[in-house]
């Protein structure tokens, strides 16, 4: 056992005592080094930064190099351990054949916080033995313009749900004790308003006021602070001419001072350099260091010139060293909380391989995919009737494409480890799943490519459709059309996909359309008028099993959309909770209602809602809105229904959305049974942000709208008032 030499090395001392002792031993150069997060993809260059610049953090280091980095840090003068980060977004993303879960957008459709928390927990359990102790997840951005390439990384369009699902992931990653061997540090990103893009373009200037930020974009991040998240990440974009990295009101005054966040803020990739090189709001790196540190950033991701720039800024008197000290304290606080000084988390790569895709982990992935599937249309063809369907024609570019099924931020999507991909054998594709769960014959033809206009494969697809009792046509997008840097100008299904579907439907065979994609596409009548339409988004490694179960009736779809699906790209943005007050309710040439609304999703059952009631109609600020409704399963299958409760403040001092989701309940209902569902909403949640920028509950008349989706026809209005 190594004998402790200094108070900061004694785990028996309080964390703040250890920080105080270590801080007074550090040189300015060592302090600035703790602020550096270095790109670890070039081993020798990265290790040189550890030696020459005392770098305190690295990201995207190759797994078999991590032990060298950890050992080298332990040999430095003070032995301050590294914190090693990676983008483990929906699973241990870049470890070959790890348990890749449904993407956030897919998982959100389950509306199941417990399941989302389990997903984050198994991600932590698979990544901890690698030496990596920090994941840049969850994403708390709000979907607005669907052309944005990162829609699939979000939980959808509703601030309340985003906050609840994000808090669940934070609990799953961090556990009850960060120093536990199966806990990792979470990161709430991108703070804030990054998704309010111009034209759907990634990282463009965001047209946001402070009131709009407070109203919609900040609440999910405040919920993350309440959940105990250890780190935040800034966005790339500027707001009202000010880069997020330079926004003192956002980073320091709101997050740290008002909300009391005690963790640390990391910039996104080269954000500080971006202010010099691209946004050109700083003349040099010394000025950029001054601006970013004063604003409230703590760790600077992949900005090679920051080290010298920060030293120059402090030594020249431009930057008060107190801002450096504050940032270093915050970083050290979480290195101590993670227990890295006692256990620097030396990799055991053999154990990672033992844990990856364990039966228990694969079962969680299956359950997430199963509960995330959304049945958009069904004329009775699903579930299959064994007597009527003996042969299936499986057709489409995503029917057997494992990388499209896994989606963005997984090996093969290109962000980190190049020229590598998850093995197809580790993934249950839709072809695999149908063969497993369907007892009849399965014929398969790809039919077409997504990024290729050739129609040569359509004839073969038509031929197998003619031979079959049912065609399952799997459409969507692919890695070239999703993710960071890959916003799209349209939402159309690319390539000859619609021509393929039209040719198959022209045969007269009953047709099920399945959507495997990163975000909603425009779905013309040739899609929506199919016999059934199933939305999977990117369902992860067990997506094929989940669909096979749904196809054959072994599982009853229960997913509900968390993003609205437009009829036409000209409707965008089409989110449900838009501010009221416009002239009219439709375009001159098209309705404003989406093709499929937020909260919508069918089942193999019909659920009847009756006897909606509100317990008390005269409420004070400290009370709760308590509503109940009876829901009857009129079908033949056990099912799960998600009952949703929206609040509408009927008259407000400032413009406000017509309705906002404020509560929901998932309830299991047996065939023929009736369940009384109760939802309790704090009156404090029935708030708005007034013209002074204050979040308040105003006295007056309200409605609680209860039902199966955000559509007016699916809701019952219950009146109440607040004094």
Average pLDDT, the chain: 96
Q: Beta partners for 233?
A: 266
Distance CA 36, CA 302 (A): 8
Residue range 294-306: average pLDDT?
Answer: 97
Distance CA 405, CA 401 (A): 6
Q: Beta partners for 375?
A: 534, 602
3-state secondary structure of 94: coil
Distance CA 121, CA 487 (A): 30
Handedness of CA 549, 551, 557, 561 (dihedral sign): positive
264-266 and 695-696 strand pairing: unpaired
Q: Which helix (H) or strand (E) holds 368?
A: helix 359-372
E strand spans, 283-329: 300-301
Distance CA 665, CA 640 (A): 10
Residue range 182-209: average pLDDT?
Answer: 94
Yes or no: say if 536 and 516 are a contact pair by the CB < 8 Å rule. Answer: yes
CATH code 2.60.40.10 region(s) in the chain: 607-722
Distance CA 500, CA 507 (A): 11
pLDDT value at residue 357: 77
pLDDT value at residue 3: 57
Of 332, 340, 343, the closest CA to residue 22 belongs to 332
Distance CA 622, CA 697 (A): 11
Query: Does residue 700 register a pLDDT over 70?
Result: yes
Q: How confident is the model at residue 585 (pLDDT cuts 50, 70, 90)?
A: confident
Helix-helix angle 43-53:66-74, to 10 degrees: 10
Residue range 67-93: average pLDDT?
Answer: 96
The Cα-based distances of 608 to 661, 674, 701 in angstroms read 21, 9, 28
Of 330, 176, 354, 357, the closest CA to residue 256 belongs to 330
The Cα-based distances of 235 to 102, 210, 279, 525, 716 in angstroms read 24, 16, 13, 38, 39
User: 10 Å Cβ neighbour count for 583?
Assistant: 4
3-state secondary structure of 439: coil
Q: Beta partners for 191?
A: 234
Of 86, 104, 341, 330, the closest CA to residue 231 belongs to 330
Q: How confident is the model at residue 494 (pLDDT cuts 50, 70, 90)?
A: very high
Of 233, 239, 160, the closest CA to residue 196 belongs to 239
Distance CA 501, CA 490 (A): 19
Query: Does residue 2 register a pLDDT over 60?
Result: no
pLDDT value at residue 238: 95
CATH code 3.20.20.300 region(s) in the chain: 31-350
pLDDT value at residue 544: 98
Q: Which helix (H) or strand (E) holds 585?
A: none
3-state secondary structure of 579: strand
Residue 429 CB partners (closer than 8 Å, separation 6+): 399, 400, 401, 402, 405, 543, 544
Longest dimension (CA), the chain: 83
pLDDT value at residue 1: 35
Q: What tens digit of pLDDT does each residue of 116-165 get?
A: 999 999 999 999 999 999 999 999 999 999 999 999 999 999 999 999 99
Distance CA 158, CA 156 (A): 6
Tokens for 706, please give them: 């209860």
pLDDT higher at 387 or 398: 398
Residue 340 CB partners (closer than 8 Å, separation 6+): 81, 82, 83, 133
Q: What tens digit of pLDDT does each residue of 588-645 get?
A: 999 999 999 999 999 999 999 999 999 999 999 999 999 999 999 999 999 999 999 9
CATH code 3.40.50.1700 region(s) in the chain: 357-571
What kind of fold does domain 31-350 have according to CATH? TIM Barrel (3.20.20)
Angle (CA) 700 226 668, round 5°: 75
Helices (H) and strands (E) in the chain, counts: 22, 26
Distance CA 469, CA 464 (A): 10
Distance CA 645, CA 715 (A): 9
DSSP string, 471-485: EEEEEE--GGGSSTT
User: 10 Å Cβ neighbour count for 216?
Assistant: 25
Tokens for 140, please give them: 């708390």
Block residue for tokens 């039209």 = 502
Distance CA 171, CA 117 (A): 6
The Cα-based distances of 689 to 61, 656, 660 in angstroms read 43, 8, 13
Q: 357-571 — its CATH code?
A: 3.40.50.1700
Report the share of the chain in percent with pLDDT over 90.
95
**b or e along 373-382 (b: 16 or more beta carbons within 10 Å of the residue's beta carbon)?**
bbbbbbeebb
Yes or no: say if 166 and 155 are a contact pair by the CB < 8 Å rule. Answer: yes
pLDDT value at residue 714: 98
Q: What tens digit of pLDDT does each residue of 649-686 get?
A: 999 999 999 999 999 999 999 999 999 999 999 999 99
Q: Which helix (H) or strand (E) holds 150?
A: none
Tokens for 3, please give them: 């004998």
Distance CA 173, CA 134 (A): 9
Indicate the burial class of 564 (C-beta count within 10 angstroms; 0-12, 13-18, 19 or more). buried
Rg (CA), the chain: 26
Distance CA 488, CA 149 (A): 7
Of 509, 502, 276, 496, the closest CA to residue 393 belongs to 509
Of 633, 634, 642, the closest CA to residue 561 belongs to 642
CATH architecture for the domain at 607-722: Sandwich (2.60)
Q: How confident is the model at residue 75 (pLDDT cuts 50, 70, 90)?
A: very high
83-86 and 134-135 strand pairing: parallel
3-state secondary structure of 405: helix
Query: Does residue 414 register a pLDDT over 80?
Result: no
pLDDT value at residue 418: 73
- SS3 of 177-226: the string is CCCCCCCCECEEEEECCCCCCCCCCCCCCECCCHHHHHHHHCHHHHHHHH
Q: What is the DSSP letter of 253?
A: I
Block residue for tokens 């699906």 = 565
User: 10 Å Cβ neighbour count for 257?
Assistant: 12
Cut 0.95: pTM above it: yes
């Amino acid at each position: 056992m190594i004998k402790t030499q200094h108070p900061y090395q004694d785990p028996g001392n309080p964390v703040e005592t250890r920080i105080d002792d270590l801080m007074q031993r550090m040189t300015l150069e060592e302090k600035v080094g703790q602020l550096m997060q270095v790109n670890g993809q070039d081993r020798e260059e990265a290790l040189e930064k550890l030696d020459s610049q005392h770098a305190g953090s690295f990201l995207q280091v190759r797994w078999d190099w991590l032990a060298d980095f950890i050992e080298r840090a332990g040999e430095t003068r003070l032995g301050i351990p590294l914190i090693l980060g990676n983008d483990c977004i929906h699973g241990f993303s870049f470890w070959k054949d790890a348990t890749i879960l449904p993407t956030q957008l897919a998982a959100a459709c389950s509306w199941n916080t417990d399941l989302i928390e389990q997903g984050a927990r198994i991600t932590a359990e698979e990544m901890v033995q690698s030496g990596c102790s920090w994941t840049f997840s969850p994403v708390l951005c709000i979907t607005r313009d669907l052309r944005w390439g990162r829609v699939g990384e979000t939980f959808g369009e509703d601030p309340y749900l985003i906050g609840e699902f994000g808090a669940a992931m934070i609990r799953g990653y961090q556990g009850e004790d960060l120093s536990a061997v199966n806990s990792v540090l979470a990161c709430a990103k991108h703070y804030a308003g990054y998704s309010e893009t111009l034209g759907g373009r990634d990282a463009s200037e965001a047209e946001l006021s402070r009131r709009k930020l407070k109203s919609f974009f900040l609440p999910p991040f405040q919920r993350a602070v309440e959940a105990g998240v250890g780190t935040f990440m800034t966005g790339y974009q500027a707001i009202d001419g000010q880069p997020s990295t330079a926004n003192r009101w956002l980073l320091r005054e709101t997050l740290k001072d008002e909300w009391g966040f005690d963790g640390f803020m990391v910039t996104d990739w080269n954000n500080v350099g971006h202010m010099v090189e691209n946004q050109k709001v700083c003349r040099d790196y010394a000025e950029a260091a001054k601006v970013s540190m004063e604003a409230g950033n703590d760790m600077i991701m992949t900005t090679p010139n920051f080290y010298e720039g920060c030293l120059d800024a402090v030594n020249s008197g431009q930057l008060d060293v107190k801002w450096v000290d504050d940032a270093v304290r915050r970083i050290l606080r979480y290195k101590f909380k993670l227990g890295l000084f006692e256990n620097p988390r030396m990799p055991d790569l053999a154990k990672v391989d033992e844990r990856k895709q364990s039966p228990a982990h694969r079962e969680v992935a299956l359950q997430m995919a199963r509960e995330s599937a959304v049945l958009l249309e069904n004329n009775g063809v699903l579930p299959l009737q064994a007597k009527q369907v003996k042969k299936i024609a499986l057709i489409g570019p995503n029917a057997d494409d494992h990388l499209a099924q896994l989606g963005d931020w997984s090996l093969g999507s290109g962000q980190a480890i190049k020229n590598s991909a998850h093995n197809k054998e580790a993934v249950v594709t839709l072809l695999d799943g149908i063969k497993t769960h369907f007892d009849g014959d399965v014929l398969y033809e790809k039919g077409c490519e997504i990024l290729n206009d050739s129609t040569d494969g359509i004839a073969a697809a038509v031929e197998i459709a003619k031979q079959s009792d049912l065609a399952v046509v799997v459409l969507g997008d692919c890695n070239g059309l999703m993710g960071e840097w890959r916003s799209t100008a349209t939402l159309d299904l690319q390539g000859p996909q619609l021509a393929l579907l039209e040719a198959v439907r022209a045969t007269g065979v009953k047709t099920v359309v399945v959507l495997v994609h990163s975000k909603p596409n425009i779905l013309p009548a040739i899609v929506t008028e199919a016999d059934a339409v199933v939305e999977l988004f990117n369902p992860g490694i067990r997506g094929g099993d989940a669909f096979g179960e749904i196809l054959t009736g072994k599982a009853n779809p229960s997913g509900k959309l968390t993003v609205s699906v437009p009829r036409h790209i000209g409707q965008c943005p089409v989110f449900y909770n838009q501010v009221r007050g416009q002239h009219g309710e439709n375009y001159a040439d098209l309705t404003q209602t989406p093709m499929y609304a937020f909260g919508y999703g069918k089942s193999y059952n019909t659920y009847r809602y009756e006897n909606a009631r509100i317990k008390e109609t005269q409420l004070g600020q400290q009370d709760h809105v308590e509503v109940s409704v009876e829901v009857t399963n009129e079908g033949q299958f056990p099912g799960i229904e998600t009952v949703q409760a929206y609040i509408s403040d009927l008259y407000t001092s400032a413009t406000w959305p017509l309705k906002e989701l404020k509560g929901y309940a998932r309830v299991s209902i047996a065939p023929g049974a009736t369940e009384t569902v109760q939802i309790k909403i704090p009156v404090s949640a029935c708030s708005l942000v007034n013209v002074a920028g204050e979040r308040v509950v105003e006295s007056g008349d309200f409605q609680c709208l209860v039902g199966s989706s955000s559509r007016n026809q699916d809701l019952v209005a219950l009146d109440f008032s607040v004094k």
